[in-house]
Structure 1
Amino acid sequence: MNPQAEELNKIIKAKSPVIYDLLSEKGKNIFFPKKGILGQTADAKGTRINATIGAAVEDNGTPMRLGSIESNVKLDPSLVFPYAPSYGRPDIRAKWQSMIYAKNPSLKGKTISLPVVTNALTHGVSMAGYLFVDEGEKVIVPDLFWGNYNLILNHAYGSEINKFNLFKDGGFDLESFKAKLDEGGIGKKVLILNFPNNPTGYTPTVEEQQAIVTIIKESAEKGNRIVVFSDDAYFGLVYEEGIEKESIFAQLCDLHENVLALKVDGPTKEDYVWGFRVGFMTYGIKGGDTELYTALEAKTAGAVRGNISNAANISQSLLLSAFENENYQEQKAAKFEIMNKRYHAVKEALKDERYSEYFTALPYNSGYFMCVQLAEGLDGEKIRKILIDKYSIGIINLNNVIRVAFSAMAASDAKELFEGIYNACKDSKQ
């Protein structure tokens, strides 16, 4: 093991033996190199002639660039063309942390890490798997989950997706969740909670989220060591009263010494910048302090460096500029209202009682999506093709659960879409 990894492990062991036990073998071995090329480059910062970094500069010391690219970007070249740090730019890391606190008022007074920048949430989940999931380990997820977890955690890291039932009686199935967490005896547990959920667009009620937190705490009190990946891709997009508006991370980050909370989030869906590819990983555990979090940040940045080197500088710069714009909150609120209108148009369209002959809506209240469960005997794939060929409607078929992305359609199209699904179901029976 590299001495720099051993140094980080020593800090983590001293501060939280639980976190050290939760780390995968890759996680134990990874480090951010302070020595070698990076260390020597850091030492040379500020020298008159700096021939260390693997990037080109103009004779005047500014980043070398092509005018045909520079002419399309309003930002200062220093914010666009050079590498960003593997940790992410310090300014956007600090800004995003302050935004996490602002969006989650119950975090007040709690200590969390500085976020580490990733290449959006897919990469964040992948880095979480790198750090905490060994081959053969089980990762607990609901039975309706983002399909990319399979590629990231099962196919890339050799873990086993271990599913609990998401819904019971129109709400979150707390019994199934508890039973899955209890399964296999006392030991390491890896859990992903994704609210609002993809594909269903469901976020727990305030009471349900508190019950989930209680179940996790009771599991930790029994001696289980739990790492919870909070996939907050659709955070903030809640359209009903009584639904939890804060991330579950806010309650888990100081819940128990046996629970490590890892928030994976970013502006992709929140701020409608899907192509920017910027995400964040933020840690919280009861008793966590700056020294512990700095060690975890170093391991995370080392994993990022060994995987993609660093996230795009231009994307981080554009986002920071937006976050600091005086019109940012007003503009974001305007887009939320469009999404809210589409959600309620879907809700209104689904009041048609005829539809229950062929499909029923699964619980939904937030996010980008909602789902309908097809009646027994219907073939979702056949219906999907009829919708495209006959009605010019595109949906996603997930084993006879149809996912509708109301985020991608006008509110005025909601009725036509569900009429199309209804008619396609009828057509498929003929």
Structure 2
Amino acid sequence: MNPQAEELNQIIRKKNPAVYEMLSERGKNIFFPKKGILGQTAEAKGTRINATIGAATEDDGTPMRLETIASKVNLDPSLIFPYAPSFGRPDLRSKWKSMIYEKNPSLGETQISLPVVTNALTHGVSMAGYLFADAGDEVIVPDLFWGNYNLTLANGYGASLVKFNLFKNEQFDLDAFETTLNKGEIGKKILILNFPNNPTGYTPTEKEAAAIVSIIGKAAEKGNKIVCISDDAYFGLVYEEGIARESIFTALANLHENVLAVKLDGSTKEDYVWGFRVGFISYAIKGGDAELYGALESKTAGAIRGNISNAANISQSLMFAAYNSDEYPIQKQEKHQILQQRYNAVKEAVKDEKYQKYFKPLPFNSGYFMCIRLNDELDSEKVRQVLIEKYSIGIISLNGLLRLAYSAVAASDVKDLFEGIYKACEECC
């Protein structure tokens, strides 16, 4: 093991031995190199002649660039062309941390890590898998989950996805969740909670969220070491009263010394910049402090350094500028209202009782999506094909379910969407 990795491990073991036990073998061995080329480059910063970094400069010391590119972006070249740190831009990391507290006021004085920038959420899931999942480890997910977990965690790291039933009587199935979490021997547990959920567009009620946290706390009291990953890709897109508005990370952040809360979030869905690829990974645990979090941040940056080197500088700079604009909250509210209207249109459309002949909606209240479950005699893939060929409507087929991204459907088209599905079902019977 590299001495720099062991140095970080010693900090983690000293601060919280349970966190060390949660790390995968890769996680235990990874580190961010402070010596070698990176260390020497850091020491040379500010020198008159700097021939350390693998980038080119103009004679005046500014980044070398093509005007055909530079002219398209109204930012200082230093914010576009150079590498960003593997940890992410310090200004953006600090800003995002402050925004987490603003969006989740229940955090209060709870100390969390400084977010590390990832190449959006898929990369965040992958880095969480790198740090915590060994081959053969089980990762608990609901039976309706984002398919990319298979590629990143199962195919990528050899983990096994263990599913619990998501819904029971139109509510979050707390019994199934508790049974699955406590199944097997006491030890390391990894789970992913994705709210608003993809594909269903469901966020637990405030009461359900409190019950989920209580179940996790009781499992930790038994001696389980729990890595709880909060996939907050669609955070903030909630459309009903009584639904949990804060990330479940908030309640987990100071829950128990055996519960490491890992928050994956970012600009992608929250700020409608899907191609920018700006995400974050943050940590919190009861009793956590700057030294423990610093060690975890260094391991995360090391994993990123060895994976993609760093996330794009230009995207980080653009998001930092947006977050400091007075227009940002106004414009964000305007877009949220558009999605609210589309959600309302969907809620109204599914009230039509005739649809029950062929399908019914699963619970939904947030995010980008909703799902409908077809009656047993219908083939979801056949319905999908008919919708494309005869009605020019595109939806996603998921083993008996149809996932509808109403985020991409004008409110005025929602009724036509459901009428088309109804007619396609009629033809497929």
Report the alpha carbon displacement of residue 18 of structure 1 after superposing the two structures with TM: 0.5
Q: Which runs of 4+ in 1 moved over 4 A?
A: none
Segments of structure 1 that go 5 or more residues without pairing to the other structure are none
Instruction: Tell me the equivalent position of 2:395.
Output: 395
TM-score calculated relative to the size of structure 2: 1.00
Report the alpha carbon displacement of residue 197 of structure 1 after superposing the two structures with TM: 0.1
Q: Which amino acid is 2:149 matched to? A: Y
Q: String of CA shifts for 1:363-399, please: whole Å, max 9, x gaps.
A: 0000000000000111000000000000000000000
* CA distance in structure 1 between the aligned counterparts of 2:73 and 2:351, rounded to whole angstroms: 48
Matched positions, count: 429
Instruction: Tell me the equivalent position of 2:311.
Output: 311
Instruction: Tell me the equivalent position of 2:178.
Output: 178
Instruction: Tell me the equivalent position of 1:262.
Output: 262
SS at match of 1:96: helix
Percent identity over paired residues: 70
* CA distance in structure 2 between the aligned counterparts of 1:73 and 1:358, rounded to whole angstroms: 51
* CA distance in structure 2 between the aligned counterparts of 1:351 and 1:9, rounded to whole angstroms: 56
* CA distance in structure 2 between the aligned counterparts of 1:81 and 1:108, rounded to whole angstroms: 38
Report the alpha carbon displacement of residue 115 of structure 1 after superposing the two structures with TM: 0.0
Instruction: Tell me the equivalent position of 2:188.
Output: 188
* CA distance in structure 2 between the aligned counterparts of 1:47 and 1:137, rounded to whole angstroms: 48
Instruction: Tell me the equivalent position of 1:108.
Output: 108
Q: Is 1:225 aligned to residue 220 of structure 2?
A: no
Instruction: Tell me the equivalent position of 2:330.
Output: 330
* CA distance in structure 1 between the aligned counterparts of 2:301 and 2:380, rounded to whole angstroms: 43
Q: Which amino acid is 1:164 matched to? A: F
Instruction: Tell me the equivalent position of 1:26.
Output: 26
- Which aligned pairs between 1:215-364 and structure 2 lie closer than 5 A? 215-364=215-364
Instruction: Tell me the equivalent position of 1:365.
Output: 365
Segments of structure 2 that go 5 or more residues without pairing to the other structure are none
Instruction: Tell me the equivalent position of 1:69.
Output: 69
Q: Is 1:4 aligned to residue 4 of structure 2?
A: yes
Report the alpha carbon displacement of residue 108 of structure 1 after superposing the two structures with TM: 1.1
Q: String of CA shifts for 1:16-65, please: whole Å, max 9, x gaps.
A: 10010000000000000000000000010010000000000001000000
Q: String of CA shifts for 1:211-258, please: whole Å, max 9, x gaps.
A: 000000000001100000100000000000000000000000110000
Report the alpha carbon displacement of residue 185 of structure 1 after superposing the two structures with TM: 1.9
Q: Which amino acid is 1:321 matched to? A: A
* CA distance in structure 2 between the aligned counterparts of 1:257 and 1:319, rounded to whole angstroms: 34
Taking only aligned residues, the RMSD between alpha carbons, in angstroms, comes to 0.4
Q: Is 1:38 aligned to residue 38 of structure 2?
A: yes
* CA distance in structure 2 between the aligned counterparts of 1:296 and 1:153, rounded to whole angstroms: 20
Q: Which amino acid is 2:227 matched to? A: V
Instruction: Tell me the equivalent position of 1:47.
Output: 47
Instruction: Tell me the equivalent position of 1:161.
Output: 161
* CA distance in structure 2 between the aligned counterparts of 1:57 and 1:10, rounded to whole angstroms: 40
* CA distance in structure 2 between the aligned counterparts of 1:26 and 1:381, rounded to whole angstroms: 40
* CA distance in structure 1 between the aligned counterparts of 2:187 and 2:76, rounded to whole angstroms: 51
SS at match of 1:260: strand
* CA distance in structure 2 between the aligned counterparts of 1:53 and 1:268, rounded to whole angstroms: 30
* CA distance in structure 1 between the aligned counterparts of 2:60 and 2:360, rounded to whole angstroms: 66
